[in-house]
Amino acid sequence: MRGANPERVRLILRKLDEAYPQATCALTHENPFQLLISTILSAQCTDVRVNQVTQTLYQKYPNAKAFAYANPAELQQDIRPTGFFRNKTKSIMGASKQIVEELHGEVPRAMDELLKLPGVARKTANVVLGTAFGIASGVVVDTHVLRVSRRLDLTKNTDPKKVEQDLIHILPREKWILFSHQIIWHGRRICHARKPKCIECHLEPLCYSKDKTV
């Protein structure tokens, strides 16, 4: 696949570094546990909305124990604006209870342990490990990473797990964490789903996408 040419990948990474040197996770959090909860809440919801909800949520529920033994009906209402609030309440309370009762109140630092928590799949685990602990366990693949990676011809796949494996094989491990943040920023600011701002894009000369707007 031409998109996986090592020199081209290096150029893409260089352009991303130039455009987004300070890219970070958009979810507001003060510790690994809050990041875990925010990431669960972010499913099918914007980070902006999640941050609005958690601004008061973490004051009401300051730690894992508070979430673990919360009133489910009350928590549902507290997180209702994020959507899918019933399932998210089950996941949040289940994960919190497991952290309190089985993990000494600490968020795990290993992929296999994180995946045992209710509501946690690879994307959430990668966010927590990468952002909270600086552990490059994989590449976060959200809708932006999926879309932009395909447009840049870095993958032909549409399944997030397969996309992650493609990216892992072509990206240097030390870039896994930052790459996701940069691509997410790029997807939000420039490479929109419907009308990408190709004329403003640092990556435009390296892009083969058929839906370019220039």
Calculated CA dihedral for residues 148, 149, 150, 155, nearest 10 degrees: 180
142 carries an active-site annotation = yes
- Catalytic position from the list 47, 78, 142, 166: 142
157-179 per-residue burial string, b: 16 or more CB within 10 A, e: under 16:
beebeebbebbeebbeeebbbbb
The answer to whether residues 99 and 33 touch, using CB atoms and an 8 Å cutoff, is: yes
Tell me how far apart the alpha carbons of residues 126 and 70 are, in angstroms, rounded to a whole number.
27
- Catalytic position from the list 88, 123, 153, 175: 123
Give the Cβ contact number of residue 207 at 10 Å.
Answer: 18
**Active-site residue numbers?**
123, 142
